Amino acid sequence: MIRKSARQALSAKQAVLVNIAAVAAAIAASMMIMLFMRMNPLTVYGKIITGSLGSAYRFRETVNKAIPLTVLSLGTGIAFKMKFWNIGAEGQFYMGAFGATWAVMLFPQMPAPVLIPLMTAFGFAFGGLFALIPAALKIKWGASETLVTLMLNYIAQKWVGYLQYGPWRDPKGNGFPRIARFDSNAILPNVFGIHIGWIITIILAVLLFFLLSKTKFGYEVSVIGESLETAKYAGINVRRTMIIAVIISGGLCGLAGMMQASAIENSLTDNMSNGLGFTAVITTWLSQLNPLVMIAVSFLFSMLLQGGSFLQSSMQIPASMAQILQGIIIFFVLGSEFFVRFKISFSKRTVPKKNTDKPLSDGGIQK
């Protein structure tokens, strides 16, 4: 018989090994799919590496994708730490980009040393306030934050689309529905050929790691995530801690949108995310909610994204192959959570012997 039983809490090292095994299984499964499609898996993976790291330009593009993905993962991670399932990083990303763009429109002539911090503040504030909506609904009426944050993604993106095709449409766009591009005073500067967001991302990861592991607030977030009743018994102000954590979560996602709008798009568009907010859910789980590990995991996933684009041009393979690999990875990673929580054991089923004794007519028993 196959038996399922609860497993004792795994150590951090064991949990990492389980995730590594899940990723290895995902790669093996993806290789089988490639073989079924008559592709050489080694060639495909080689092209992904070449397409993401094979030149200075490709490496720069990979880092440009890793920056917002890492910051989105940081934002998602602090909410997940509290078991507040924020699936709305995509929407908070767009609201942060919207806030930054609004700051540019309000103060177009402001010098860069003042305007860029103002854009940062607007991006963080709009992302955080947008994330506060599902938190308020959960606190007040117990609404599912998973559904609310998911639906808010579409509201945010459609709002940006409305601005792009409506009130903020650039009259000088030659008929194209676009918002006017930022001037140089609203664009993040470059450091070593890559915009300064990579330095900001590293600083944010270190600060968040310190916040979650070395402060009272981080301890309160962890306790709420482990047990809401224990948190209340310990005297933790659950409502206040949840509100602060969710605002930080949404604010970081909004900050990712601000950096993408300023440094990469130099404007605001309704397709600037390309699903990074949803990809952040995968990278957050794979990193075991560790902010420092998120940097490495996000970079690896950015290699998949950039390498997938290279596959399309070099091997005439649809770029969706990289998305298939992402989907397989998240399937195996989520499946591995079962083995983190439970263990499987095998045992022989004992079948009781049948009673073959027959009664005799005189009351005795025949053996």
Give counts: helices (H), strands (E), the chain.
13, 6
Residue 353 has a pLDDT of 62
Write the pLDDT tens digit of every residue in 30-67. 889 888 888 888 888 888 899 999 999 999 999 999 99
* Cβ 16 vs Cβ 288: under 8 Å: yes
Distances (CA, A) of 232 to 86, 211, 221, 237, 244: 22, 21, 12, 7, 17
Q: Give the span between the Cα atoms of 211 and 218, in whole angstroms.
A: 6
Give the closest residue to 194 by CA, choosing from 104, 93, 296, 66.
66
Secondary structure (DSSP) of 39-54 = --HHHHHHHHHHHHHS
Residue 113 has a pLDDT of 96
As a whole number of Å, the CA-based R_g of the chain is 26
Q: Give the span between the Cα atoms of 172 and 174, in whole angstroms.
A: 6
Q: What are the tokens at 253?
A: 């996602």
Residues of the chain with pLDDT under 70: 9-10, 12, 319, 349-367
Q: Give the span between the Cα atoms of 28 and 330, in whole angstroms.
A: 14
Q: Give the span between the Cα atoms of 77 and 169, in whole angstroms.
A: 35
Q: Rounded to two decimals, what is the model's pTM?
A: 0.89
Residue 220 has a pLDDT of 96
Give the closest residue to 248 by CA, choosing from 67, 77, 87.
77
Q: Give the span between the Cα atoms of 317 and 301, in whole angstroms.
A: 18
Write the pLDDT tens digit of every residue in 197-230. 999 999 999 999 999 999 999 999 999 999 989 9
- Which amino acid is it at 299? F
* Cβ 197 vs Cβ 67: under 8 Å: yes
Give the closest residue to 39 by CA, choosing from 300, 316, 302, 304.
316
Residue 364 has a pLDDT of 57
Residue 253 has a pLDDT of 97
Residue 366 has a pLDDT of 57
Q: Give the span between the Cα atoms of 113 and 90, in whole angstroms.
A: 28
Distances (CA, A) of 20 to 12, 14, 15, 297, 335: 12, 10, 9, 12, 13
Residue 38 has a pLDDT of 84
Q: Give the span between the Cα atoms of 144 and 311, in whole angstroms.
A: 39
**Could you tell me the residue ranges of all domains in the chain?**
69-284
Q: Give the span between the Cα atoms of 188 and 256, in whole angstroms.
A: 13
Q: Give the span between the Cα atoms of 114 and 136, in whole angstroms.
A: 33
